[in-house]
Structure formats: C-alpha cells, structure tokens
A and B are shown apart, each in its own frame.
Chain A
Amino acid sequence: MSHVTNARSAPRRRPLPATLVVLLGLFVIAGVWLLVAPRSKAQGTGDNAATVTKGRVLFERGCSSCHGLHGEGTNQAPTLIGVGAAAADFQLTTGRMPLPAPGAEAERRDPIYPPEQIEALSAYVGSLAPGPPIPSIGDQQWNDADLAEGGELFRANCASCHQAAGKGGALTYGKHAPALSEATPVEALEAIRTGPENMPVFSPTQINDDQAVAIAKYVQFVTNPPDPGGAGLGHLGPIPEGLVIWLIGMTGVAAAALWIGSRQA
C-alpha cells in the first residue's frame, strides 16, 4: 500500500519548500515587527513630564467621560484629585477600572490597559494633586518584614471584612470585601494607603510602611500557604475537608465493604 503511494507521488520534495516559505515569511514578519514595534521599556522610563502628558491623553480618551475632563469627578464617578498615583495604579492593575458596568462593586479582572499605559495614567492622576505614590518594596524590607506581626495587624485591622484567611466576605447591600488570593504585595500596600471603594484608609501614622509590608507579606502567606498534606481544598478549613472525607472517603470504604460482602456471599 505505502509502496504504491510512494510510487505515485514522484516529486515528493514538494511539501518541504512550502514549509520553508511559510517559515521564512514568519521570520520576516517577526523581524519587521521587532524593528517597528514600540519599545515599552524605553518609553516607560522616559522623563516624567512626557509620561504625564501621555497619561493625560489616555485619561481624556478613556476615563474623562465619568471622572471629568480634569479628574474633577462627575455625578457618576468620584474626583481623582488627591487620590494619588497609588489609587490609579491599584484600580487599573486589578482591572477594576475602567468599570465594565455600574454595580454594587467593581470586580477584579484582567487589566484592560497594558503596563506602560497604566504607568502613564497613574503618573497623570498622581500629578493632579499630592497623594499616596505607588509604593515600592525593597528586597531587604520584604525579607525583614515580620510575618507574625503582619498577621496580628491583619487580624486587628483587616480580618473583620477580609476574613482571617483573606478569603473575603459579605458587606451590606450586595457589596463584599474581595478575597485577597490574587493581590500582589504592591496592590495590598496600595489598598491599605488608598482605601479602594468602601475600604477604610490607613495612614502611615496608623500603620507605618514596615507594618504595611508585613501585612502584605502575611496576605501572601495566608492566601497561598504551603500545603504539606496535598490539595488545600480552598483552605476553607475542616468543613470542606470533612465533606470530602465523608463523600469520597466513606463512600469508598462503604463500596469496599459491599464488594467484600458480595465476594463472600
């Protein structure tokens, strides 16, 4: 059979040139793109005034319909004057802004803007009036942060809404405190300092920067804890674990017992 096919397709090298052509085409396109494409890194690190200008253009195009042409706010959205770059960066990196639809609360989703545009927008919002800047965490600061202290502060200040394990919880009238499992340390710091939506604001006089980093470290730990026992089952505690044991474990045991019984009958 194969012999016949081979004999019939005499010019059998034909597919190879076609593949080569496609590959070559791809390489050419990739090369052109590399030459033409904008360098996000280079633009991001450009001078601040240029970034702010770029942010203002983006703002007028994408945000001003609700927040006002100069971020002064409208009856649909709050003013952004004085909220600081941290607030803008938090809202944009967590995808809460731009708001997909009005509702009780903005939900976390994939960011709409690419990082360099978020940087520009945050710089512009931060330039409107003094406000909390985008926090940065040094490696030394992160390593020195006291996990136990962070946990204590978290339980004292955050756990009432976000729950002791950072799983979030219900608030009034359809709102809820979100789960923190996806929050990066920087986002956690930004939330502490800016109080997104209904969250209270915590100033550096209440919780200093080292303490805030400790809280962020605790959030990272508690939402993604090591699971030496295997699957964490959502880290919801003994109830789902018991459920699994009863539904799967005990069913298996019962099935095994039935099987043994049927074998002996």
Chain B
Amino acid sequence: MSDSDNRETGPDSPNSPEGADRGWETGGSVFDRSKTGSGAAATGGGAGSGEQALLQAGTSRGTGRAKKTAPVPAFLGPYATILAREEHPDREEVDRRSYRRGVRLVTFWFALAGVAAVAFIVLNFAGDVHKEYYTPVLGICIGVAMAGLGFGLVVWNKRLMPDEEAVQERHPLHSSPDDVVAFEEDFARGYQETGVGRHKVLRRTLLAAAGLLGLAPLAMIFNFGSIPHGELQVTRWTRGARLATRDGVALRLGDLPIGGIATVYPAIPDQNGKFVALTDNQTAADSTVMLIRLRPGEDQPVPGRETWSVEGHVAYSKICTHAGCPVGLYERTTQHLLCPCHQSTFLVTQHCLPIFGPAARPLPQLPIAVDADGYFIAQSDFIEPVGPSWWSRT
C-alpha cells in the first residue's frame, strides 16, 4: 500500500470528525493553525489572544457546521463546543475567567517547581552537608519540584485541554471464516492421517508413557532426604577443640596482632591425640569461625559472656545470619564486619549486633579459652544455631 492510498482513504473513514479533516487540510503546524484561528476570531472583537480564538471557534461549532472558510483549530474542537453551551447569560465571560484561572494555576505550579529546583541547586552547594537538615531538605526540594511539575501538568490537562471522550475501535481478533474452515479441515485431515482414532493400542501406550513420565519428577522429592532435626542446632565445635587455620595450624595466644583476624576451623584430636583440623566442606559450611583480636578493653560483652573472650580475642561464626554468606570484610578501626552479599553489617565490639542490612540476628559467638599449651580452644559448641534462620528455629 502506497502513501497516496492512505491519503485517499483517510477522509472517508467514518470516525474522523469533519473539523479535524478541514484542520489538517489547512497545512502548516498545529501552532500555525491555531494562529490562523486567532486571526479569524479577532474580528469577533477583543484582542487576538488564544482564548479568544478558542471561544470564537467554539461558538461557530456550536451554532452549526464549522465554517469552511475560517479554519478552526481542530484539536480544540470539543472543548470549544463545551464552552459554547449557552447556560449562563454571559457564558463566554464565565468561560474566559475560568480559563484564565486555569492558566494562573498552572503557572503557579510550574513556578513553584522552578523555585524548588533552584532551592535544591542552591542548597546542594550552600548547605552544610554534616547538618541534620541537609538530606531531608534536599529531598523536600526535589519532591516539591517534581510534585509541582506533576500538579501543573495535571491541572493543564484538566482545566485547559478539551474534555474529550475518545473511543478507539479494537481490531477484530478472530480469524476470517475462510481461515477457520480451512484450519478445521486441516486439523481433521491431520487427525485422520495419524490414525490415533483407529489404533487403540497406540493411543493407550502413548497416554501411559506420558503419564508415567509426568510422575517421574515427583519421585525426586524423596531425594531431599529426611527432614533435619538436630543437625541444624549443632556444629563440629566441641569443648577443647583448637582453633586452627585452613592450613591446619592451631593458633596460639600472641599469634594475632591487635587488629588481626583469622578464619579458623575446629581441630579435634584423632586416635593418637594429634589435633587434626576439620576443613572439609561439610564442616566449613557451619563451623567456620572468625577469630579477631581487639584492643584491650574494647570489647563490650553482654552479661553472661564476660568469660567468652581471651585477652581481647573474640570468636564469631563466619556464617551470616541472613543468607549464610561468609562474613569476611573486617574493618579494624570501626570494628564493623560486613557481609559482601547483602551488606549486613555487624558491630564486633557489641557481640556482633547487626547494625545495618537484612540480617536480623547477631553472629553467634563461640566461647573460647586458652589451654595449658597456649592454644586457643573452644569452651563448647555455639549455644545457638549458626547461619540463616529457618521455619522451625527455636
């Protein structure tokens, strides 16, 4: 279909209002046409302002067919019709005032938005970043600016633009009758050709096989194993287990400098009494612990945990209580432990209290002591489950 076809069929379509067609035929931009309209309206008295043109156009539409000689701003047509309703003795004056009020209101909102935007820019540079007011006021400024723009646009639409109810016809969604018949014939022929209707054995074995295959995934539910009971409550830490690095080296008092951190695993004596570090994945998944050395007196233990640390050394589970990531980012001056996955932040000096992020519980603390040989040992297992919460966690 070429461009000229479009032009021919356009005006003949039943839904297009006559005024619109005439408007487009005058050529030029929308603004040009509205100017032309205002020029014609000027003859009706008053200055050639936009609203005059509008009223004039409305009158002409209201009294009968649009004058072909004086091009009407077609896109204002319906609004002009509303204006032309002669319910008030001085209808035109009332509408003109209402229009002016609308213009003033929109202007007010836009001006407010502009002022707020300027205030934002000024405050951004002139404000004191460290003061409490800074961020909230910045937010208020940008909020007022955006709300002003929004209100202005809405008011513009409601008060100054034509209140037009447009109905757009949907395209038909159904296929043409010929297509429907053709498809039905195709389908019937295909069904005949497969022979499903004739071969009872084929039909039944196909249904049986497909049904059994559909059941197969359900069998995998049993692969999850039994419902965990006690395993989630305990780790591999026991009384007397040494704190060993991944290389299997048990740490002693003095190995860590102040501000030092080590990731440690339980080292448990084997049959010969030799301590063996458990660094396999099963153990590491729940028993990985951070040993941190704070400055003397820096730790603020909660009541009942005063004896859980040794000379400023504290030990906490490395498994985040939110989603189980390894909490490895230690900041020694702020004493923050940061989880890299979701930015949960724990305060080491206050039993790893979560101070930011999605984690809801503190990191479980491992009570530690030093044995006769100077090695760090665990006093016991954790007194609470490590890692993320689950549905039946007590």
Residues of A at the B interface (CB closer than 8 Å) are 156, 160-161, 169, 171-173, 175, 177, 195, 197-203, 205-206
Cβ of B331 and Cβ of A171 under 8 Å apart?
Answer: yes
Interface positions, chain B 323-342, Cβ under 8 Å from A, are 326, 328-334, 336, 338, 340
Cβ of B246 and Cβ of A156 under 8 Å apart?
Answer: yes
Cβ of B259 and Cβ of A173 under 8 Å apart?
Answer: no
Kindly report which residue of chain A lies nearest to residue B335, judged by CB atoms: A198
Cβ of B329 and Cβ of A173 under 8 Å apart?
Answer: no
Contact of A200 (CB < 8 Å), options: B246, B330, B356: B330
User: Which residues of chain A have C-beta atoms less than 8 A from B298's C-beta?
Assistant: none
Cβ of A206 and Cβ of B256 under 8 Å apart?
Answer: yes
Q: Given A160-B340, A171-B336, A195 and B259 touching (CB < 8 A)? A: yes
Stretch at the interface among B9-17, B96-104, B260-268, B360-368: B260-268
Residues of B at the A interface (CB closer than 8 Å) are 245-246, 254-263, 326, 328-334, 336, 338, 340, 343, 345, 356
Kindly report which residue of chain B lies nearest to residue A175, judged by CB atoms: B331
Write the nearest CB–CB distance from A82 to chain B, whole angstroms: 10
Q: Within the assembled complex, what's the spacing in Å between the Cα atoms of A172 and B331?
A: 9
Contacts A/B (CB < 8 Å), 10 sampled: A169-B329, A172-B345, A173-B334, A173-B336, A177-B329, A195-B259, A197-B333, A203-B256, A205-B255, A206-B262
The 10 closest A-B CB pairs, nearest first, are: A160-B328, A198-B331, A205-B255, A203-B257, A201-B257, A201-B259, A200-B261, A172-B336, A201-B260, A161-B329
User: Which residues of chain A have C-beta atoms less than 8 A from B326's C-beta?
Assistant: 160
Interface residues of A: mostly helix, strand, loop or mixed?
loop
Could you say which of A171, A200, A202 has the most chain B C-beta atoms within 10 Å of its C-beta?
A200
User: Which residues of chain B have C-beta atoms less than 8 A from A156's C-beta?
Assistant: 246, 263
Cβ of B334 and Cβ of A198 under 8 Å apart?
Answer: yes
Cβ of B260 and Cβ of A171 under 8 Å apart?
Answer: no
User: Which residues of chain B have C-beta atoms less than 8 A from A200's C-beta?
Assistant: 259-261, 330, 332
In addition to A171-B329, A202-B257, 18 A-B residue pairs with Cβ atoms within 8 Å of each other are A156-B263, A161-B328, A172-B331, A172-B336, A175-B334, A177-B329, A195-B257, A198-B331, A200-B259, A200-B260, A200-B330, A201-B258, A203-B255, A203-B257, A203-B260, A205-B254, A205-B256, A206-B260
Q: Within the assembled complex, what's the spacing in Å between the Cα atoms of A51 and B157?
A: 79
Q: Within the assembled complex, what's the spacing in Å between the Cα atoms of A203 and B245?
A: 14
Q: Within the assembled complex, what's the spacing in Å between the Cα atoms of A205 and B374?
A: 14
Could you say which of B246, B257, B326 has the most chain A C-beta atoms within 10 Å of its C-beta?
B257
Write the nearest CB–CB distance from B69 to chain A, whole angstroms: 46
Write the nearest CB–CB distance from B323 to chain A, whole angstroms: 16
User: Which residues of chain A have C-beta atoms less than 8 A from B259's C-beta?
Assistant: 195, 200-201
Write the nearest CB–CB distance from B203 to chain A, whole angstroms: 49
Q: Within the assembled complex, what's the spacing in Å between the Cα atoms of A200 and B255?
A: 14
User: Which residues of chain A have C-beta atoms less than 8 A from B254's C-beta?
Assistant: 205
Write the nearest CB–CB distance from A81 to chain B, whole angstroms: 13
Write the nearest CB–CB distance from B259 to chain A, whole angstroms: 4
User: Which residues of chain B have C-beta atoms less than 8 A from A203's C-beta?
Assistant: 255-257, 260
Cβ of A195 and Cβ of B255 under 8 Å apart?
Answer: no
User: Which residues of chain B have C-beta atoms less than 8 A from A195's C-beta?
Assistant: 257, 259-260, 332
User: Which residues of chain A have C-beta atoms less than 8 A from B343's C-beta?
Assistant: 172
User: Which residues of chain B have C-beta atoms less than 8 A from A172's C-beta?
Assistant: 331, 334, 336, 338, 343, 345, 356
User: Which residues of chain B have C-beta atoms less than 8 A from A206's C-beta?
Assistant: 245, 255-256, 260, 262
User: Which residues of chain A have C-beta atoms less than 8 A from B263's C-beta?
Assistant: 156
User: Which residues of chain A have C-beta atoms less than 8 A from B340's C-beta?
Assistant: 160, 169
Q: Within the assembled complex, what's the spacing in Å between the Cα atoms of A171 and B327?
A: 12
User: Which residues of chain B have C-beta atoms less than 8 A from A173's C-beta?
Assistant: 334, 336
Kindly report which residue of chain B lies nearest to residue A104, judged by CB atoms: B334
Contact of A198 (CB < 8 Å), options: B258, B333, B345: B333
Write the nearest CB–CB distance from B250 to chain A, whole angstroms: 12
Q: Within the assembled complex, what's the spacing in Å between the Cα atoms of A27 and B141?
A: 64
Q: Within the assembled complex, what's the spacing in Å between the Cα atoms of A198 and B329?
A: 10
User: Which residues of chain A have C-beta atoms less than 8 A from B329's C-beta?
Assistant: 160-161, 169, 171, 177
Q: Within the assembled complex, what's the spacing in Å between the Cα atoms of A169 and B262?
A: 20
